[in-house]
Amino acid sequence: MALFNSPARVFFAATALRLILLVYGGWQDAHSAVKYTDIDYMVFTDAARYVAKGESPYARDTYRYTPLLAWMLMPTAWEGVASWSTLTFAFGKVLFALSDVLAGWLVVQLLIRCYRFPVERALRYVAAVWLWNPMVANISTRGSSEGLLGVLVAALLWATLTKKPVLAGLILGLAVHFKIYPFIYGVSILWWWDAERDGSTVTSSGLLSKAWGFITPSRVKFTIAALASFVALNLVMYLQYGQPFLHHTFFHHLTRIDHRHNFSPYSTLLYLSAAGGAETRFEALAFLPQLILVVIALPLVLAKKSLTTAMLAQTFTFVTFNKVCTSQYFLWYLILLPFYLPSSSLIRKPTLGISAAILWIAGQALWLHQGYNLEFLGLSSFVPGLFLAGISFFAVNVWILGIIVQDGECAGEITVALK
């Protein structure tokens, strides 16, 4: 298709799609009691208003993010002529939508430069998965900040694959400060970035020299940069907003008990144990399978074979084995799919790919049906409905994860340092 010959046309269409949604969203907000804008966006803009008044963003209940987000959205708090205020209000959404497009651009660049994709093929995959994906455009134009994570992860990959350890470290620190989960990528990148990757040909033998050989300049730079940006950002925020910053940005996410129904297989168990009905404290160990796979096993086995497949598998595992899982989490691995899909067995074997898609959607549908029964019809569908639906969805995800892991063996990027 001629459309995919030109990056300009693909990005123009992606931008136009977001612009149309932004305008439509503004229209719906102004004419209907049912709002297009996400509730979270109201939280962000309320927090930005507090910041503009010189107060803490945590003065807004349920603001559980870095103050950076509220700072970035300060223009939404500008008050002025009525017609202006609708424009300034949309500032954050425009920012999120632009981040989306930028993330897509970075992925296209990487596919072309590091994976030797023809332009057309790169554009086709990124458009299908990300740029033209209505779900992605919808989420960012409704004002959810998940799109920012997309651009941070894409930028992290770009800096890594083009061998800029300091920049990659700085971006990782920022990403972890923004949302905790990207720390998992740090492990993969560290393991991946061996001496050979830096162009060294020295092959060391002996355990001690191997261990010593692990410490390469790139790994050191990356680690220090990541720690520096993470610590610096937290220090600035802590000095500015004190304990509430630490509590809402980090501790809340670590200590919360998500007793409400969600896609996680732990959901019913967490309700049971939060209400004091559990005999064991099995869920207290939930971090073990999740972190063993995500932080140790997956990076160790996959990162050196294919960094992006390892990161996709990590994200997929993190979300699948997490104690809480909502649909916005699925966006986390979407940005990594264009790297994996082209060479995956899901595409090579259409029956497998279609079965995986059907099973995943069926798992979702099954759960959503039970969720609808509970949430809207008021039926007690926790057991067996939601419990079994959650476990089935988990099983489908684990099966797909097995395919990704298997594909990790024979997928990889070409990581010659670009001159």
By CB under 8 A, what part of segment 364-393 binds another protein? 374-384, 387, 391
31 binds another protein (CB under 8 A): yes
Of 4-12, 176-184, 271-279, 327-335, which part binds another protein (CB under 8 A)?
Answer: 271-279
416 binds another protein (CB under 8 A): yes
Of 29-37, 101-109, 178-186, 238-246, which part binds another protein (CB under 8 A)?
Answer: 29-37
Shortest Å distance, C-beta 285 to another protein: 9
46/146 with CB nearer another protein: 46
Q: Which of 203, 168, 198 is nearest to 185 (CA)?
A: 168
Report CA-CA distances (Å) from 249 to 68, 69, 128, 238, 342.
Answer: 11, 11, 33, 11, 36
The tokens describing 218, both together, are 């790139």
Candidates 20, 24, 209, 409; binder of another protein (CB under 8 A) is 409
Q: Is the dihedral of CA 72, 73, 77, 80 positive or negative?
A: positive
The tokens describing 150, both together, are 């997309």
402 binds another protein (CB under 8 A): yes
406 binds another protein (CB under 8 A): yes
125/191 with CB nearer another protein: 191
- Determine phi and psi for 323, rounding to 5 degrees: -75, -15
191 binds another protein (CB under 8 A): yes
401 binds another protein (CB under 8 A): yes
Shortest Å distance, C-beta 388 to another protein: 8
Candidates 289, 326, 354, 361; binder of another protein (CB under 8 A) is 289
9/259 with CB nearer another protein: 259
Candidates 91, 266, 329, 333; binder of another protein (CB under 8 A) is 266
Of 50-58, 229-237, 238-246, 403-411, which part binds another protein (CB under 8 A)?
Answer: 403-411
In the region spanning residues 75 to 94, those forming contacts with another protein, defined by CB under 8 A, are none
137/400 with CB nearer another protein: 400
Candidates 1, 33, 202, 239; binder of another protein (CB under 8 A) is 33
The tokens describing 196, both together, are 């050979």
**267-274 and 387-407 helices cross at what angle (nearest 10)?**
130
How far apart (Å, rounded) are the C-alpha atoms in residues 350 and 366? 24
Query: Could you tell me which residues come within 8 angstroms of residue 43 by beta carbon, excluding any fewer than 6 positions away?
Result: 60, 62, 63
Of 95-103, 220-228, 356-364, 399-407, which part binds another protein (CB under 8 A)?
Answer: 399-407
Report CA-CA distances (Å) from 359 to 89, 125, 344, 352, 354.
Answer: 40, 22, 17, 10, 8
**387-407 and 350-375 helices cross at what angle (nearest 10)?**
160
Q: Which of 262, 301, 3, 282 is nearest to 126 (CA)?
A: 3
- Determine phi and psi for 196, rounding to 5 degrees: -60, -40
Of 26-34, 68-76, 219-227, 330-338, which part binds another protein (CB under 8 A)?
Answer: 26-34
54 binds another protein (CB under 8 A): no
Shortest Å distance, C-beta 370 to another protein: 11
Query: Could you tell me which residues come within 8 angstroms of residue 28 by beta carbon, excluding any fewer than 6 positions away?
Result: 34, 35, 36
Candidates 166, 236, 297, 347; binder of another protein (CB under 8 A) is 297
Query: Could you tell me which residues come within 8 angstroms of residue 178 by beta carbon, excluding any fewer than 6 positions away?
Result: 65, 66, 68, 69, 148, 149, 152
The tokens describing 379, both together, are 């039926």
Of 28-36, 163-171, 175-183, 239-247, which part binds another protein (CB under 8 A)?
Answer: 28-36
220/292 with CB nearer another protein: 292
284 binds another protein (CB under 8 A): no
157 binds another protein (CB under 8 A): no
Of 27-35, 102-110, 160-168, 177-185, which part binds another protein (CB under 8 A)?
Answer: 27-35
Q: Burial level of 238, CB count in 10 A (0-12/13-18/19+)?
A: middle
| Contact letters for another protein, residues 307-346 (x by CB under 8 A) | ----------x--xx-------------------------
Q: Which of 124, 127, 126, 180 is nearest to 152 (CA)?
A: 180
How far apart (Å, rounded) are the C-alpha atoms in residues 295 and 102? 28
